[in-house]
Structure formats: structure tokens, C-alpha cells
Amino acid sequence: MKMLNAKKGGLSTGIINSAILAIVLLVVLFQLYAQLVPTAQTAGNTLCSSGVPLGGLFKSTGVVFVIIMAALIILVVKAFMPGGKK
């Protein structure tokens, strides 16, 4: 299936569908992140204040949430990078 018509300079419906799907999935991913992370940070702060060993890793400025944010950025960048040759 050819995505780009070189003679006409137009895009096929396949690439337009892929772009729309990517945008929708990106919005859903960020909405999910925005809903779940504040609750998890509050739970991590409570865990840290209770005196659990290594509880500081789970507080809102801890390593766990830095790793989650880095993973989200890597996932978004990797999704929009062009694929290699098959």
C-alpha cells in the first residue's frame, strides 16, 4: 500500500487515518496520566510520612515519578519517530 502519491503530491487515506489515530491515542494517554498520577503522588506522600523504609522513593518528588515521566516522554517520542526499513 502506497502512502504518498508522488505524481499528485497528495496523501492517501492510510496516512491520514494513522495520524488521526496517533493524535487520539496521545490525548487518551495524557488524560490517563493526568488522572492517575496525582492520586498516586498523594498515596506516595502518605506512605513516606508513615515512616516506611524507602518510602521517599514514592513521594511526589521521588524517583518513581521521575521514571514514569521519563518513560512517558520516551514513549511519545518513539511513537512519532519514523520507522526503519523492513
User: Considering the domain boundaries, does residue 21 fall inside one?
Assistant: yes
What is the domain count for the chain?
1
User: Considering the domain boundaries, does residue 85 fall inside one?
Assistant: no
Copy the grid coordinates of residue 17. 487515518
Three-point CA angle 37, 42, 48, nearest 5°:
120
Domain with 71, as residue range(s), is 4-80
Question: What is the overall mean pLDDT for the chain?
Answer: 83
d(CA 30, CA 8) in angstroms, rounded, equals 36
| pLDDT value, residue 28 | 92
d(CA 24, CA 28) in angstroms, rounded, equals 6
Residue 46 has pLDDT above 90, yes or no: yes
Q: Decide: pTM greater than 0.85.
A: no
User: Considering the domain boundaries, does residue 56 fall inside one?
Assistant: yes
User: Considering the domain boundaries, does residue 8 fall inside one?
Assistant: yes
User: Considering the domain boundaries, does residue 17 fall inside one?
Assistant: yes
Residue 78 has pLDDT above 90, yes or no: no
Residue 17 has pLDDT above 70, yes or no: yes
Helix orientation angle between 63-80 and 13-49, rounded to the nearest 10 degrees: 180
User: Considering the domain boundaries, does residue 34 fall inside one?
Assistant: yes
User: Considering the domain boundaries, does residue 70 fall inside one?
Assistant: yes
User: Considering the domain boundaries, does residue 86 fall inside one?
Assistant: no
| pLDDT value, residue 81 | 81
